[in-house]
Structure 1
C-alpha cells in the first residue's frame, strides 16, 4: 500500500508477528465477555460520577455487543469472510497503539498473544502489511484514505464484506479509545504520553458548508431484493430511510455491526425526551470538522441550527484552513476539549475535562458532548473511507 504521507506516529507498532425504542435482535445472552469494553476502568471513578455511565445501560450494552460482533471468540472463514480473528485483533492493537490508551493496548495484546501467526508466505506478509498500514492511516489521518487504497485491500484478498468489517472495527476501537480516555479523565488520572508521540497533522480538507451532500458507496451494496428478513429488520431499525441510503445498504454487508452501531447512535444522540440536543449536534459537527468529514459536518451543522444553536458557532467551525476559536469562553472551551479528544486522546485528562466544567456545563452535559465526539470518531471514518459525497 502506498504511503501517502509520513505516519503521524513512529516507532512502536507491533505490526504483525512473523431514541427509537423497539425490540431488537440484540440479545443479552450473546454477550461473551462482561468487561471487554470498559475494561473495568469505570471502577476508578467516584460513585456519583460513575452513575452517569452506569445509568446508560442501553449504550453500554450496545457497545459491548459491537465488541462481541467484531471480536468474537471464534471466526468462521468463508469465501466472503476472510478476515480472521488474528487479522481483527492485530489491526485493533495497531489502532489502540496509535491512540496511546495503554489499557486498551494491553487488552488487545493479551487477546492476540495466544493466536497462531499467519503463515510466513510472501502473500501472507503482503496482506498483513497492507492491513497494518491501512489501519494505522485510517486511525490517524482518515482524509488520506482514497478509493485506490480500497482497491489495494481487494487486491490482497479482502471481499467487500471484509472491508466493511475492517473499517467498522477500526472505527469502533477509535470510539472505544476515546471513551476510555474520558473515563480516565473522570477518574482524575493524568494523561500518560509515551516518548515519541507526535501531534497528528491537521486534516487537509476544505469546502465545509451547510449545503446538502449526497453520499455514494465505493463498494457493492446489499441487493435488497436478495436480503434476508433479518437484514431487512436491521435496516429498518437503523434509520427510517435506511432502505434508500447507499450508506446503510453498504454497511448491511455486516448486519451485526450495523445493528450495534445503530443502537449506539440512538442511545448517544437520541435519548428519550431529547430527540436532538444542540450540545451533541455541535460536538458531532465540530468532531467532523476536525476529522475533515464534509458530509457529517454539514448534516450536523444543520441539525445544530435546527435545535436553536447560534449560526456564528458553525461559521467559526467552518472557517478555513482549520477550526477557529470564538471570542467566548464557552465556545473556546468546547473547541479545545473536543479537539484534544479527537486528535490526541492520549492527552485527554482531567484538565481537558475541566475546560467544559469551568465553562458552566454540568457533568451530564459534559459527558453528552464527549460521547457525541467519540461516536463521530467512528462514524466519520466510515463515511470518509467507504464512499464519496458530492453536493446535491
Structure 2
C-alpha cells in the first residue's frame, strides 16, 4: 500500500485499533505462558479457520507460524463449528475440550483464538472491498448487485424461549469464572478495563482465565465501539445488533438493540429487525448498513466493491464504512465468545 493510498489515511484515523489487534494476535500466537495449548498448535488451528473462511493469505500466515505442527482433532472440530455456526455451541462441547487435554486457561485461549481469526477475516474482507472501490463508484446506479446470498426471512434465536428482545438479560457461563478475590496480579490488570466500561461480570471473569489476550481484547472492543467521530454510535449499535440477530446471539442482540433504542429514541427499526431480519428497513441508509453487515457476517469473502458503492450511494462515507467493518468484525469475535462459553438467561 503506497503512502498516498486513501485507505492508508483512513486506517491512520484508527491507528490504535491496528496496534491493539496486533497485540491481541501476538498474545494468542506467541504467548508468554501457553500452558496446555502450545503456540504451534494454536497456529495450526488458526490456519484451519482462515482456510475455512476462504482467506488464503491469512491461512498461509498461520501455516508459517505452525511450522508443520498439527492440532488435536477435537480442537479443530470445535474451531470449525464455532466458526461456521456459533449458535450450535453447547456446554458439553467444553467437556470434549477438557477430554482432549485443555484446562480452563486453554479453553478460553482457544475461544479467543477462534474469535480473533473470525475478526481478522472480516476486517481484511472489508479493507479489501474498500481498497477495490474508488470513491467515484458512488456516482450513478449502474453497479451490479453484490454476489452471494443474503439471509432472508425472520431470524431465529438460539433460545426460542427467550427470543430476541430488548429486555435486560443475564449470561450464564459454562466454565467456572475466576474468583475476583483470588485473581492474580496479571488477571487483575486485564480486568481493569471491561467491555463498555461496565462492572466486572461473569463474562469478564471467565475470559480472565487467559489474561494475556484479554488485556488487549477489551480495549480493542471499546476502541471500536466508542471511538470518536466516524460512524454514528447508534449505527454501530444497529450493525452489531444485525450481526447478533443473524448469529442467533440473544444476549448480544438484547444489549445492542437496547442501546440503539436508547440512543435514537425509537424502536421501529429494532422491531423490524427482530421480526423480518435485514429486509424492510424504511430508511435507505440503515437498509444499506444492514445489508453490508449481513454480508460481512455470513459470507465475508463475498463482500465486494458493489457493497461499498451501495453504502456510498446511501450517504455512508469511507471513514464510516471502515467503522462499520470494524464493528461487524469485533462482533464476529464477541458473538463467538458469548455463544461458545455460556448462554443467555432471564
Q: Give, in angstroms, the shift of residue 325 of structure 1.
A: 3.0
1:47 is aligned to 5
Change (3 A) 1:301 1:312: same
CA distance in 2, matches of 1:308, 1:204: 25
Work out whether 1:332 is the aligned partner of 2:291: no
User: Alignment partner for residue 21 of structure 2, among 63, 68, 76?
Assistant: 63
Residue in 2 that maps onto 1:83: 37
CA distance in 1: counterparts of 2:33 and 2:227, whole angstroms: 36
Structure 2 residue matching 1:219: 3-state secondary structure: coil
Counterparts of 1:373 and 1:59 in 2: how far apart (Å)?
A: 14
Aligned to 2:65: 111
Higher fraction of helix = 2
CA contact (8 A) 2:238 2:257 kept: yes
In the alignment, structure 1 residue 253 sits paired with structure 2 residue 197: no
CA distance in 2, matches of 1:357, 1:201: 22
Question: TM-score when scaled to structure 1?
Answer: 0.77
CA distance in 1: counterparts of 2:294 and 2:51, whole angstroms: 19
Q: How many residues align?
A: 326
Give the TM-score, by structure 2 length.
0.87
Report which structure shows greater RCO (CA 8 Å, sep ≥6). 2
Shift of 1:238: 2.2
CA contact (8 A) 2:150 2:291 kept: no
> In the superposition, relative to structure 1, how do residues 348 and 267 fare at CA in structure 2: closer, same or farther (>3 Å)?
same
Question: Corresponding residue for 2:76?
Answer: 132
Q: Structure 2: how far apart are the matches of 1:370 and 1:274? A: 12
Is the contact made by 2:189 and 2:215 (CA closer than 8 Å) also made in structure 1? no
Match of 1:97 in 2: 51
Corresponding residue number in structure 1 for 2:178:
222
Residue 119 of structure 2 corresponds to 175
1:1-392 equivalent positions in 2, closer than 5 A: 43=1, 47-72=5-30, 81-112=35-66, 114-117=67-70, 128-188=72-132, 204-205=156-157, 206=160, 207-239=163-195, 240-243=197-200, 245-272=201-228, 277-308=233-264, 310-319=266-275, 322-391=277-346
- Residues 325, 200 of structure 1: alpha-carbon distance in 2 compared, 3 angstrom cutoff: closer
Distance 1:200 1:129 in 2: 32
Provide, for residues 239-285 of structure 1, a one-character-per-residue CA deviation record: whole Å limited to 9, x for no partner. 54443x00001101111211211111121011247998111111111
Deviations 1:76-104 (A, max 9, x none): 55xxx211123211111111012112221
Q: 1:131 to 1:116 in 2, by over 3 A?
A: closer
Q: Structure 2: which 5+ runs fail to align? A: 134-147
Q: How many angstroms apart in 1 are the aligned matches of 2:165 and 2:212?
A: 33
CA distance in 1, matches of 2:319, 2:19: 19
Summarize the Cα distance change of 1:256–1:138 in structure 2 as closer, same or farther, 3 Å threshold.
Answer: same
230 and 326 in structure 1: CA distance in 2 versus 1, 3 angstrom threshold? same
Q: For residues 201 and 226 of structure 1, what CA distance do their matches in structure 2 show?
A: 45
Secondary structure of the corresponding residue to residue 132 of structure 2: coil
